[in-house]
Structure formats: C-alpha cells, structure tokens
C-alpha cells in the first residue's frame, strides 16, 4: 500500500494492488488512513478530513447513470464522424471558396452600379457627388444646375443667366425671326432646360 502511494509499483504489481483496494473495504480504509497521515505531516491536522465512503459511493452511482444517458443520446448510425467535425475549416476549403466567389460577385455588382450612376448621361449624379464633396460655402449659394449639351460643354442653370438668354432672344434680329424665330423662342423656354 505504501509503495502504491509512492508510485513505485510496476504494471503487474500496480494492477494487483488496485484490485485489492477496490475489492476490500478495509484496504480502502487503510488507503484513506495513509493519506490522512501524509496530509497531517505536510500541512497540519486542521487541513485534514477523513474520507466519506458514502459520498464516494453516491458519486459513483450518479456517474454510472449519467454515462448510460449519454450513450442513449449518441447517434445509432455507425457512420464515421464528418470531416467538419474532425478538423477545423481551412481557408482553401470548397465551402469557403464558394462564399468568397459570392462575395466577389456582390462587390463587383456594387462597384458596377456605382460606376453606372457616376457616368449617367444626364450628369445628375456627378452633380450630386460634387455637391456632396463641396466644402462649406464661402459665398452665398446660387441656384445653379448643370445641363449637358451636344457639344459636351455645360450650360448653367442660373436665373440671371436665363434672364440674359431670354433678353437676347427677345431683341435678337434676324430675317428668319418672323415667324420662325419668334415661334421658336415662344416654344422654347429657358426654364425647360
């Protein structure tokens, strides 16, 4: 018993000693007594408690019940555990590759959509972007909007400029003014832009 406590027994002798302790209540009492003496010698009597055989017995019974319940919940199929359960997912795993592909397509779609709005033919989005990026204005804001033209230049929407355009149309002189020029000017309004 003393050699067992000092971990000096070899496999065959260890096996015989364990069988003797498990099969004999006096041997287990002796085992507890030896441990109590050892604890008393290392730390004092105040720190020592005697072994409670009833508690250990109840603990064993409870552990047996729990083991039986876990065995019932285990899958009945004898198939091997899945690969996912056996090993963590690798970055080059097929599932991750699918996820990465889908994410790339989504990012590409967002980029194309944004680019499409930047190059819209009416230039509206470009103006919106410019307005968004505009820092705090230092001058009084003017109601001006850009309008693309055939020549690619930009016509401003400014009431004052519109007034100048209208004044020019009113007083412009041309042999084609009557009736075509007048009809054209009465049809086309600067506000239509």
Contact set with other proteins (CB under 8 A):
139-140, 142, 144, 147-151, 153-156, 158, 160-161, 163-165, 167-168, 170-180, 182-184, 186-189, 191-193
Q: How near is the Cβ of 122 to other proteins at its closest, in Å? A: 8
What's the token pair of residue 20?
A: 């003797």
Nearest to 38 by CA among 16, 11, 5: 5
Q: Which is nearer to other proteins, 104 or 142 (CB)?
A: 142
Q: Which is nearer to other proteins, 6 or 192 (CB)?
A: 192
Q: How near is the Cβ of 146 to other proteins at its closest, in Å? A: 8
Backbone angles phi, psi at 55, to 5 degrees: -60, -45
Count other Cβ atoms within 10 Å, centred on residue 37.
Answer: 11
Tokens 């049809």 -> residue: 187
Q: How near is the Cβ of 128 to other proteins at its closest, in Å? A: 16
Q: How near is the Cβ of 119 to other proteins at its closest, in Å? A: 16
Q: Which is nearer to other proteins, 29 or 177 (CB)?
A: 177
Count other Cβ atoms within 10 Å, centred on residue 186.
Answer: 10
Q: Which is nearer to other proteins, 70 or 175 (CB)?
A: 175
Backbone angles phi, psi at 106, to 5 degrees: -65, -45
Q: Which helix (H) or strand (E) holds 148?
A: strand 146-148
């Amino acid at each position: 018993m003393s050699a067992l406590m000092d971990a000096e027994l070899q496999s065959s002798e260890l096996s015989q000693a364990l069988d003797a302790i498990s099969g004999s209540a006096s041997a287990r009492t002796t085992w507890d007594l030896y441990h109590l003496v050892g604890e008393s010698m290392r730390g004092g009597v105040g720190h020592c408690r005697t072994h409670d055989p009833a508690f250990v017995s109840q603990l064993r019974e409870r552990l047996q019940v729990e083991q039986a319940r876990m065995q019932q919940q285990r899958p009945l199929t004898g198939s091997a555990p899945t690969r996912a359960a056996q090993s963590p997912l690798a970055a080059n795993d097929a599932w991750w590759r699918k996820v990465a592909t889908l994410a790339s397509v989504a990012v590409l779609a967002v980029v194309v959509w944004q680019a499409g709005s930047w190059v819209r033919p009416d230039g509206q989005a470009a103006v919106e972007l410019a307005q968004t990026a505009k820092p705090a204005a230092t001058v009084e804001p003017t109601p001006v909007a850009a309008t693309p033209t055939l020549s690619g230049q930009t016509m401003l929407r400014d009431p004052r400029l519109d007034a100048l355009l209208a004044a020019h149309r009113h007083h412009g002189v041309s042999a084609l003014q009557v009736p075509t020029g007048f009809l054209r000017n009465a049809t086309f309004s600067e506000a239509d832009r």
